[in-house]
Every structure is written in C-alpha cells, then in structure tokens.
Structure 1
C-alpha cells in the first residue's frame, strides 16, 4: 500500500524501536528468509521508507502492499511483514515476518507498543481542529519531554495502529488523532490508544451523508471516551450546542474528571480576552482559576479556542501549563490548514491563506472570518476561492448557499467557486461579488491566477476531494517571491 506518509521513524531514531524477538512475539509472526535485524522505524510506504524500517505489506482499496515488498527490501527495510500465503514469493529477497493477516499484525504491534510504554497518552477528535490541536500538543509537550504523535492525519483503522507501532518505549507523552466517517469507528481506535486524556474539539455538521444528523455525529465523537483509562480525564467544548449530550457520554465513561474549555462563564479553561493581528493572536485565559496570558503563532478565534483545549489536555496529562502556554507562540498551522504565504505580484505583495486541506461549514466560516480581518495593500481586495464541502448529504446544497451571509459579514470582495455544490453559493451571491464558477478546481484555476493582484488577501479552501490545493500550487508557482 502506498500513502503520502511523512514519518516512519521514532523521535529518537538512534535507538532501536523493536528487537527481532520482541517483534515476532508481539505479532505472533514467523521469521522467514534472511535473519531479522533491529527495527528503527515502521513504514507502509516505499516512497518514504528508510533503511531499518519494518515494512507492512497492507492490502489497500487500490493497491496491494505485497506488490511493493521487493522495492522495500531493496531499499534496506529491516524486514517485510507479509501474509503467510505470500511468503514463499519473497523468501530469497530478504528478511520476512510471515503472519496470517498483515493489518492484524500491525494492530498487534501497536497494542504491544501501548502495553510497554509508561507515557501519558492523549487522544483528540472533533469535527474541526483535531489535526491543528494535535500538532500544537506535539509542539508544546516536546518542550517538556520525549513526545510521540500521529504523523499528518493518521487517524483511521491503519493510521492509529501505525502510530502506536512507531512509539518509542521511552516516550514521556503520546498524542493521537482519532477520526471517523461512520458511527462505531472511534471505539476500537480509542480502545487501542487507551488515553489518559480524551478531548473533543467541537461537534459540527460534518459527515452528515454517513451519519444523518448532528446528534449522531456528537454520539460518534463521544466514543472517544470509551477507551479512557480508569481515572482518566474527559475534555469537552463548553460552548458547543451539544455539550450536554457529550457530557452524558463522558459521565458514563471511566473518566473521574471532566474538564471544559471555551468562552462560557462556567468553562474550566476559559477565554477571557483575545486580540487578533494578521499573523498572530494574544490570548488571556483562566486555567482552573489561574490567569494565563500567551501569544499564538496564527490568528483566529477558533485557533484561540483550540489553544484552550491544548492547555486543558496538558493539565490533564500533568504537564506544566505555563510552559505549554509559552510554547504556543512557536506553533504554526499545519500545511493546508491556514498557513499564510506571502506572494509577489507586479506592483507589490499579496497574502495567500492556504486552507485547502479540508472544509465544512464551521471551518469555512472561521476561514472567512480570518480573511475579513486580513490587512490589504493599496488597491487590494479580499478574495475567497472556495471548493465543494463534501459528505454533507441532502443538506449539502443549502449549507453551501448558507455561506453567503458569512461572506458578506467578512467583507469579501470577490468569490471564485469550484464544484457542483459551490454553484449553490455562487448563485446566492450578489453579482458584484461573483468572480467565476467552474465545475472543478482545475477548470477554475486560470481565472483565479488571472484575477488576483498586488494588495489582495486570498483564501483558498475546500474539502480535500475538491482539489483546491491545485489552485494554491498554481498561485505559488506563478507568484513566487524572487530569490533573495
């Protein structure tokens, strides 16, 4: 199986991650081929595999990982984990671990990694903000001890056990992102992770196509509390309309403490004040009654609220909250999730806000709000380039059209739309705000590149499947700043 993996090594790549005997015992595997070596990383992607990695030949929807075993061994994999009935094909190529089922073996290795660690573990889910929150936690906890966290958005049935299998035994903290598209998917994943702290960033109308109602989404997200260790901490968004529903789930779990965050007067970690600037924010908060002031490395009220979640999780893990708050100043948005890029156009610069990784109604409104506060150069405009928000079910057309008031509130000057669902928004806009509509991002790209100019602030956002990242790439290529 090939993926866009970005990380196969543990935080301390100098130390062996797995010894051969421990590896075989954990997976119930049979050694075959050449003798096994120490394992220093775990991979499912030959494109990023490093010498010493253990390669799992997972069978995916499109490709069978066994097709890549020769390449993995040729690149120096410590061994390849293969199905028992395929082992004979690769015996002469190098070390093998033969197992009945490769994905089951990955899960078993992940469970063994969780069993051997003394790390304090956090699990994060939510309709919006889970990856950014996970990355912020990774950064602030790393300043306090060896920290292991999910790579990219490795939050599904193979991503979670892969992240576990990569966790060094000496980790002090572990941070795991857990996602879902259907009810019942989070429970087995949080059961593998067994977090000491489980947090929900928010509940919004995402995956409506699969779940049917926002109440069902709240119930599915609350499955994260099912795996809490005895005496664990549940972290909840106090401002969310479904807070009481989430609270009932948390109270029915093994949590002995429930911590809330938000602007609500009763929130345990509460936003007291917020000053936003183009590329940063200053936050005043109350953390369990203690005043904390800190700087964030990116703007946005939603970013500030997610930072409260970070501090609540840190407190639950026993980390130093003051040090964590100070470290937030150095956290930047993950790629495609709000990164601000300065581009060079004839006559001056323009600012590009890359939000192309994902989208739903809540994150769209948050991105538009940031665009509304973005500074403009002389003659500049606020430009929104928006792709379809996917998996919204029958409500999709109305939810797209419903973004029109947020565009007006943000003072967006011109809107470009890509995709059949975004046609509903385009038609709902006044003529003066309509830039162009096209059936796909690739068809819209020339119009956007031709229209932007010096002084503009541009937000590009859409669900990953709408491919708005191609427009970001085109803008970066066409308007790259001159080499210094």
Structure 2
C-alpha cells in the first residue's frame, strides 16, 4: 500500500492526537465502503453516528480511524486520531490535501452535465498524466463529498478534477474556497432546484460563486450559448478571473467552437477550433448537449496546458455512466431492446436533452421509441408549467408511447396530444409492470427522472432480468 496519509500527517492536519504510528492508503466515511488500509472517518450526522460503525470498519480492514469519541473504539489499541469534531477534521484534511498538491485543480459546476464533464476531464487529463489525475467519484459534490474527494487526492497528482453542486445560495462559496481551482467551468444554467431560487438569474448567481475560490491568475470557462453568459462573465471578472474562455456550439464568436459537426445516433464527429488550434475528434456519446460538453472539456484541457490530441482520443472512448446516458441491450423474448439509462436525475434542460438523444436513434425494423419519465423535483411554483413544457420535446422525439411517473406528471399528461399514448402512474414499480407488458424487440427505451422517483430500480431490473 502506498501511504496517502501517515498518522503524524493526519494529526498535524486536523489538530488531533494520534494513538501511534500508522499509515492509510484511502479515506472514507461510509463503513460499507471501507477497503483494507483505509482511514474511516466517524462523522456524526442528524440520523447516524459513524462511531456506531467503528467495529465494522476495523473488521473490514481499516488501518485507522478519525474519531471524536475514542471511548467508543472497539479496542484500546485500535489505531486512531482523536479530534474534537470529525466533520471539521474532514474539512481540515481537505485543506491540507489541497495545500500539498502542486498540480492544476479544476472545479466543475452547472445545472446539468457536471458529472459527465467531470468524468470526461478525468479521462482526457489522464491521457496526459497517466495515473496522476485525481477526480471525485460518483456525484460526490456536496458539503461532505467535496472535502472527502480532496482528502483522497494523492500528493503527487498533476491534475485534480472536482465536481461541485448546490441547491441554496452560499453553498458553492464554501466548496470553492476548499477546492481553490485554477480553472472553473460552468457547464450550463437552467431551472434546476428552482424551488429555492426566485429566478434563473438567481441560479446563475449561485453557480457563479465557484469563481470566488479561483486561484490568482485563474481561468473561468463559460458556455457562450447560454443566455446567462454575460452575467457569469461579469461575476468571473468581479472575482478576479485573469482569463475567460468561452465555448459554444451555436455562438460564432466562442473561443472554442465547432467548424464541422457530423452527428449520428451513436456518436458525434467534430472538427473544432480550440483557441486557434484545429482538432478533429469523435465524441463517444450522441446528442448536441454532449457536443457542447466536449467543447467545454477541450477549453479546460487547453487552459491547463494538457495535450489536446490525447484529450480528443479520450472523448472518443467516452461511454455513458450508470444513470447518466449508459446504453445497454435487454432481452425481449428472442430479441433485444435498447435501454438508455438517464435515471439519476432530471431538470427541464436535461430532460429535453435526453429526449433529443432518444429522437436521434432510429429504431430497427418495427421498433418504437418509448419514454419512461419521472417527475422533476424542486421546481417550486413552476412545477406544473415546466412539466407541461416537456410535451413538445416528447412529440419532437417521435415517442410512440410514454409512461409518466409521479403526481407532478399530470400536467404533462394534459399537455400531450391524444395521438401519443401515455400512462400516469405513482411509482417506479408500477412503471416497470407497465413497461414489461409494453416493450417489444427492437424498441428503444429512455428512462429518466429525478433520483428520488427511483427509476434506477426500473433500469436495474430490466438489465438483470430483461422482459420475459
């Protein structure tokens, strides 16, 4: 095991007291994720206390623990660092990790596309620095996930890529000041978490908080196609961004823009102008939103001085992530149907983008396009209108039949034309039952909704069992 932290370094970073000499190779606060050699941080939450899982963590191979209540250790000789507050200590460890890393750090935020862009950057930068590119895993983008991701960063990393999310004003300021990015990219601004904001302009202002953490001489990378570009640019300049790079598919004056685009239902080929450098490459994911994301990725790669050609190769190998564009084929009798898994989350912009991707696929033989759409959450007073607005995207995508999950979908059901058969159900389980009766070989099925709707269960069941 390569030591990520020694007990002396942990104690120094957190102001704690080490029980003795030990070293750890990883960090986690979830006892179910403990691997041999890890540090387990016993966080105290509103409902759970990590100290209750110390025995399980050591049994799973934890090399040490960060605790605020040493009396609850499973044995007196269990290696540990005692601190006053484990959450504060996690943040202290994150700051120490950021201070000791001498490479380039990138922060990623936006109303949609954060995780995909973060993953694309990880792959692109790892081509330039194999084994020395660190990135947050999954969607670890909140007040616990960001410091954990920082604490896991090896000291010799040349690149660090961190996703940052928010649903209230002020949250990104705290995260950005932990990450202190050299480059900050805002993927797009749309009506996500609208229940907590008076307007999209307010969402843009909250996303612009990422610039408050920019390192001196830092770069802001902005979506030139987005209507809030000027607002974001002004915020970046006010926060001291030394350089602003724009990217866009439609904006002719973007710094990073396409010269030629050849889309298909499985990928997109593109020649792009990247601040005067021409690059021809392929994007392994279909859809205009992925063409836009790829341009943003190339802008960041250029900003940190990594190899554009290698980044282009990495983009060609991009595959969808679980819940975010992953494609699979499920058994339907003697045939197969294609499943597009977008089940992790949804807002109006990402829902429209996913439906556009569905519309780009041509079903084989007599196959149809089927959409299983879950309610979009946290839209506040705009809930009914924003759901109803999806009717146009469904019609444009050529959806043959739709299953709508959640009470919020009633407004969409009313807006859909009668010629598109649709069913409103209350749960993911009801949707699965309907879908099993509906789907046939060669169909293409899109599954998308807010994570709390639980459509991931539909995807997992179909992938495991197909349609009997």
TM-score (norm 2): 0.97
Match of residue 5 from structure 1: none
Residue pair 1:426, 1:434 contacting (<8 A) in 2 also:
no
* Shift in alpha-carbon separation, 1:365–1:209, aligned structure 2, 3 A: same
Residue pair 1:36, 1:79 contacting (<8 A) in 2 also:
no
Distance 1:333 1:255 in 2: 32
Distance 1:197 1:446 in 2: 46
SS in 1 for 2:411: helix
Match of residue 455 from structure 2: 468
Distance 1:411 1:279 in 2: 17
SS in 2 for 1:240: coil
Residue pair 2:18, 2:82 contacting (<8 A) in 1 also:
yes
SS in 2 for 1:203: coil
| Alignment match of 1:88 (pick from 71, 75, 80) | 71
* Shift in alpha-carbon separation, 1:61–1:442, aligned structure 2, 3 A: farther
| Alignment match of 2:7 (pick from 13, 20, 25) | 20
Residue pair 2:333, 2:467 contacting (<8 A) in 1 also:
no
Following superposition, the deviation at residue 65 of structure 1 comes to 0.9
| 1:39 and 2:24 matched | yes
SS in 1 for 2:419: helix
Following superposition, the deviation at residue 290 of structure 1 comes to 2.1
Match of residue 9 from structure 1: none
Match of residue 61 from structure 1: 46
Following superposition, the deviation at residue 166 of structure 1 comes to 0.6
| Alignment match of 1:75 (pick from 60, 66, 91) | 60
Q: Mind listing any 5+ residue stretches in structure 1 that lack a counterpart?
A: 1-13
Residue pair 2:7, 2:18 contacting (<8 A) in 1 also:
no
Following superposition, the deviation at residue 93 of structure 1 comes to 5.8
Q: Mind listing any 5+ residue stretches in structure 2 that lack a counterpart?
A: none
Following superposition, the deviation at residue 378 of structure 1 comes to 1.6
Residue pair 1:349, 1:455 contacting (<8 A) in 2 also:
yes
Distance 2:13 2:391 in 1: 54
| Alignment match of 2:396 (pick from 399, 403, 409) | 409
Distance 2:125 2:53 in 1: 36
| 1:222 and 2:208 matched | yes
Residue pair 2:436, 2:467 contacting (<8 A) in 1 also:
no
Residue pair 1:178, 1:186 contacting (<8 A) in 2 also:
yes
Match of residue 314 from structure 1: 301
Residues 235-246 of structure 1 mapped to structure 2, 5 A cutoff: 235-246=221-232
Following superposition, the deviation at residue 15 of structure 1 comes to 1.7
| 1:184 and 2:166 matched | no
Match of residue 127 from structure 2: 143
Residue pair 1:382, 1:457 contacting (<8 A) in 2 also:
yes
Match of residue 293 from structure 1: 280
RMSD: 1.3
Residue pair 2:269, 2:283 contacting (<8 A) in 1 also:
yes
Following superposition, the deviation at residue 430 of structure 1 comes to 2.2
| 1:274 and 2:272 matched | no
TM-score (norm 1): 0.94
| Alignment match of 1:133 (pick from 109, 117, 120) | 117
Following superposition, the deviation at residue 480 of structure 1 comes to 7.4
Distance 2:461 2:321 in 1: 19
> How far does the alpha carbon of each residue in 1:274-310 deviate from its partner, in whole angstroms, 9 at most, with x for none?
2222221111211112221101111011001000110
